[in-house]
A and B are shown apart, each in its own frame.
Chain A
Amino acid sequence: MRFVLWVAAVVAVSLISIMLSQRGTTDPVQNLSLTITAPLESGLRDVASPIDDIVEGVFDHGDLVRENERLRQELERLQGQRASQQDAQQRVAVLQEALGVKQDRPEDKLLAASVIAQEPSGLKREIAIDRGLSDGVDEGMVVLSRNGSLVGTVSRVYKDFAWVRLVTDPDSAINAQVNASASAPQTPAPQASATPAFPTATPGVATSPGGGAPGASPVGGVAVGDLRQGVVLDLLPSDSPITQGDLVVTSGLGGNYPRALLIGSIKKIEERPQAPFQAASVQPAASLSSLDTVLVLISFRPARLTGP
């Protein structure tokens, strides 16, 4: 009988708490809790991060050497592309000025935030940051990595803190497009020089937002978070000319994300012979497991905030 009463009490209290939490009634309590734990959590993260690096270094030494070599080659290739693109960008700027074309996002305002905690359960992919309502952060705002690629969106905001839903969370769905390079293999896709280094006034904008190679039309899809594969680009037309390594950027459709933010690159294309759509797994551009600082794009108001 004692157990029955106890179970009834626990279930009742839990359900009431969950309902109050959903309505935001408990937000001050959770804000206070994060205020108390944030310094300790930041310190523990600083301690644990090098340990993680050491463990990875010991077990993945061979992989790291190979990856380092691959990245050096990639860097060299991108530097070459960037050099040629700077000239093109200057020309575009001159032409836009001459034609009076409105810039996409000329004055993006970014707010730097430190990552203080990470959702441990594994069922969700979320991080806590030390910025909240008092800093101008609101639910739905877009969060970028230091290099400007998409990290996620603010899913819950308290007075001084916020939780950010990562692009790999199962609840994340982003209208995206692939800057397909397959249709123009001779022309190096200019989109690779996408992400300007931090600090910068403009977040990672994959250039040529309307598409990749000149003349190639972008391929639209939806980038959804996945516990197994990280990010899956779904609902791609079955005849999409996408290839491994193609860049995936936000399409801007729906108004919840700015256009042409770098999400990642195509890692593997799933074969679905009979399906009307194909899907591909995406390697996120941001290193989501080792984020320490992120940028909240506070100048962009998502449609879900500005809507009726």
Chain B
Amino acid sequence: MRYLFAFATAWFLAVIGASAMPYIKVLGVTPDLVLIFAACWAILREQSEAMVVVPVAGLLRDLTTSDPLGTSVLAMAPIVLLAAAVQMRSVDTQFLPTVIVVAAGSLLYGIISMLVLWLTGQEIGWGDGFFRVVLPAAVVNALFTPIVYLPVQWLSPRPKPGLLGRRGRLTSPL
């Protein structure tokens, strides 16, 4: 059931991403709600769930875009690894790690996407692509994280600390 819910949400966000979201441009880019959702799921849920949900979310995203099928599956895979790496640190909040994973995941997503497009014979402006699309996307996706994070956190079975940890303090050794 939880997988069904995750897939349905990812599909709906992918549809929104290809239809309504292009009208919302911040810093010249469109927030990637599927990527943010995948990152939130990877942090807030079990790793075993993330290992299924993230690739499927990527696949659903590919089905609504012109990218070769499999591009987002590959490009979103680092999110699971980033989430696992971030969770190794003991931090009494899950929001900041999520933002970090969204930002870093967006960077890796953009770079891998560019690489795939280049390998499939498409013209890629590496400099413009990175500085005008990938980098702003990392910032914008991080800014939009709360919109997806809060509902996913609310549905998450784990204890729910405040947005910035208990009493607003980070209790990690970071």
Contact = CB atoms under 8 A, between A and B. Distances in A.
Contact of A120 (B32, B69, B70, B124): B32
Contacts of B28: 122
A126 B117 CA distance: 14
Contact of B16 (A11, A13, A44, A122): A44
A293 to B, nearest CB: 15
Contact of A3 (B69, B71, B84): B84
Contacts, number: 146
A11 B65 contact: no
B133 to A, nearest CB: 4
A62 B7 CA distance: 44
Contact of B19 (A15, A45, A51, A126): A45
A18 interface: yes
Chain B interface size, as a band, is 35 or more
A256 interface: no
A113 to B, nearest CB: 15
A122 B20 contact: no
Interface stretch (A33-41, A98-106, A185-193, A267-275): A33-41
B68 A41 contact: no
Nearest to A33: B63
A30 B64 CA distance: 8
B69 A26 contact: yes
Interface residues of A, number: 50
B113 A121 contact: yes
A6 B51 contact: yes
* Interface of A, helix, strand, loop or mixed by DSSP: helix
A124 interface: yes
Interface in B132-166: 132-134, 137
B122 interface: yes
Interface in A119-137: 119-124, 126, 128
Given A17-B73, A52-B23, A120-B22, 18 more contacts: A7-B77, A7-B81, A13-B55, A21-B69, A21-B70, A30-B69, A37-B15, A44-B20, A51-B23, A116-B19, A120-B21, A123-B124, A124-B67, A126-B66, A163-B66, A170-B125, A171-B122, A227-B128
Interface of B: 15-24, 28-30, 32, 51, 55, 59, 62-71, 73-74, 77, 80-81, 84, 110, 113-114, 116-117, 120, 122-125, 128-129, 132-134, 137
Contacts of B23: 45, 48-49, 51-52
Interface of A: 3, 6-7, 10-11, 13-18, 20-22, 26, 29-30, 33-34, 37, 40-42, 44-45, 47-49, 51-52, 116-124, 126, 128, 155-156, 163, 170-171, 226-228, 289
A233 B173 CA distance: 55
B65 A3 contact: no
Contact of A228 (B15, B63, B73, B132): B132
A118 B19 contact: yes
27 contacts: A3-B81, A3-B84, A14-B71, A14-B74, A14-B77, A16-B70, A17-B73, A18-B68, A18-B70, A18-B116, A21-B68, A21-B70, A34-B64, A37-B64, A40-B19, A41-B18, A41-B64, A42-B19, A49-B23, A118-B19, A119-B65, A121-B113, A123-B110, A123-B117, A123-B129, A124-B66, A227-B129
